[in-house]
């Protein structure tokens, strides 16, 4: 499902990204909905997983999320 402006603003609020200035999109994305979110606190890329995820991809994505959350808890300077 493609995210709405209201949903993206809710995400920005929940994650303390700041007030949304503009929303952009990527031209491609076979499985994910990739959105560029520009806020008063900077630019962010939101990746919302689509429904066409197989078992292997799902497992890999869970690992990626776990690693990013772990690094975030350590205050690792991750700029992407």
Helices and strands of the chain, counted as H and E runs: 2, 3
Q: Read off the pTM.
A: 0.61
What pLDDT, on a 0 to 100 scale, did the predictor assign at position 48? 76
Per-residue pLDDT tens digits for 32-73:
678 889 999 999 888 777 666 677 777 887 888 888 888 888
* Cβ-Cβ contacts under 8 Å for 24 (sequence gap 6 or more): 35, 36, 37, 38
Place of tokens 């630019």: 43
């Amino acid at each position: 499902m493609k995210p709405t402006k209201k949903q993206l603003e809710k995400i920005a609020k929940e994650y303390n990204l700041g007030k949304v200035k503009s929303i952009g999109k990527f031209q491609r994305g076979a499985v994910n909905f990739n959105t560029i979110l520009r806020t008063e606190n900077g630019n962010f890329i939101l990746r919302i997983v689509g429904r066409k995820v197989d078992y292997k991809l799902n497992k890999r994505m869970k690992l990626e999320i776990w690693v990013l959350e772990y690094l975030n808890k350590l205050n690792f300077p991750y700029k992407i």
